[in-house]
């Protein structure tokens, strides 16, 4: 069964020229997603190793703080990725509204 193709945010609304206008946004958002997951995984593993090496109650605190910090950095990178998409959508909506008002 063939899958339905999903549209990229830069192709929504029938504006095919947006890909040429913002060529690197697609790559930037993909890179941010990959970097975010790398930070989360390596941060959690690093925190566990650092906490185990340290040992004791201090090691436990380092594990918890490291995992929380990794999660927050992951979250900030995902939010930055979504902000790029949001800015493109706002620009497209503003342009279409301005075109609609200009027609009247």
* Residuewise pLDDT in 10s, the chain (104 residues): 555 555 544 455 554 455 567 778 888 889 999 999 999 999 999 999 999 998 889 999 999 999 999 999 999 999 999 998 888 888 888 888 888 888 86
How far from 26 is each of 14, 36, 39, 50, 73, CA to CA, in Å? 17, 16, 20, 36, 21
Task: Return the pLDDT at 5.
Answer: 52
Which residue in 41, 85, 46 sits closest to 63, CA to CA? 46
35 burial class (0-12, 13-18, 19+ CB within 10 angstroms)? middle
Look up residue 1 and give its two tokens: 């069964």
pTM of this prediction?
0.68
Calpha distance 56→29 (Å, rounded): 40
Report, in angstroms and rounded to the nearest whole number, the Rg of the chain calculated over CA atoms: 21
């Amino acid at each position: 069964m063939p899958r339905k193709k999903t549209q990229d945010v830069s192709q929504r609304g029938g504006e095919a020229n947006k890909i040429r206008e913002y060529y690197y946004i697609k790559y930037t958002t993909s890179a941010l997603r990959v970097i975010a997951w790398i930070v989360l995984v390596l941060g959690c593993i690093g925190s566990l190793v650092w906490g185990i090496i340290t040992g004791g109650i201090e090691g436990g605190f380092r594990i918890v703080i490291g995992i929380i910090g990794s999660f927050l950095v992951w979250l900030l990178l995902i939010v930055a990725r979504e902000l790029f998409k949001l800015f493109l959508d706002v620009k497209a909506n503003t342009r279409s509204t301005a075109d609609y008002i200009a027609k009247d």
